[in-house]
Structure 1
């Protein structure tokens, strides 16, 4: 996710209209450290695995739609960006809900 964010930032800086690629880069770079942290803490954080799956998938769909719009001139699929954005928001809510569950015993 981090590498994709950097690659998209580089493409945005060299590719004319940067609105789509810049936004895709931002989402990837914003979520990469969170996904790493969720992986590293998954044994101590009950909702980490689900949150990582939902956040990761939401980011991939959202960024994929923006990349598709830039390079192909069309959406990844109808309502892809709202689906991906909703996935990212749901993922963050799952992260927050982890505060209400007991820590796993290791």
Structure 2
């Protein structure tokens, strides 16, 4: 397994673990989630966290794509989850009123990561940037 695949797989495992951990934390340990608005924010963060973990797992198995775009896509998706979900988790745990400006930046990172994955899918086998060369 190459380093890119190993890295994406490791990040997917961390995101999956974190998603389950924060889902449990929201049910058992975080105060203030009885407020419907705060609860919705927490659930959105957990959903983004858990949905993108298996997406990254699938990305780790891709072989006939543009490697650099795949790496950048994975980085943007992982970073987007960290910013989006992480700031919501932090705000809810510390009693903040909302996620702050980093959450929308994370959301934009997620969107851009998905666009780059789409573009990476058009990488041609044998391209200097593709894994089959």
Using the size of structure 2 for normalisation, the TM-score is: 0.69
Pick the aligned partner of 2:73 from 51, 54, 67.
Answer: 51
The 1-side partners of 2:110 and 2:119 are apart by 14
Unaligned runs of 5+ in 1: none
Confirm whether residue 23 of structure 1 aligns to residue 66 of structure 2: no
Unaligned runs of 5+ in 2: 1-14, 34-38
Shift of 1:44: 2.4
Pick the aligned partner of 1:73 from 95, 103, 109.
Answer: 95
Secondary structure at 2:121 match in 1: helix
Pick the aligned partner of 1:98 from 120, 123, 130.
Answer: 120
Pick the aligned partner of 1:85 from 100, 107, 123.
Answer: 107
Is the radius of gyration larger for structure 1 or structure 2?
2
Pick the aligned partner of 1:7 from 5, 21, 26.
Answer: 21
Shift of 1:85: 0.4
Secondary structure at 1:60 match in 2: helix
The 1-side partners of 2:64 and 2:20 are apart by 30
> Is the 8 Å Cα contact of residues 62 and 84 (structure 1) preserved in structure 2?
yes
Alignment RMSD, CA only? 1.8
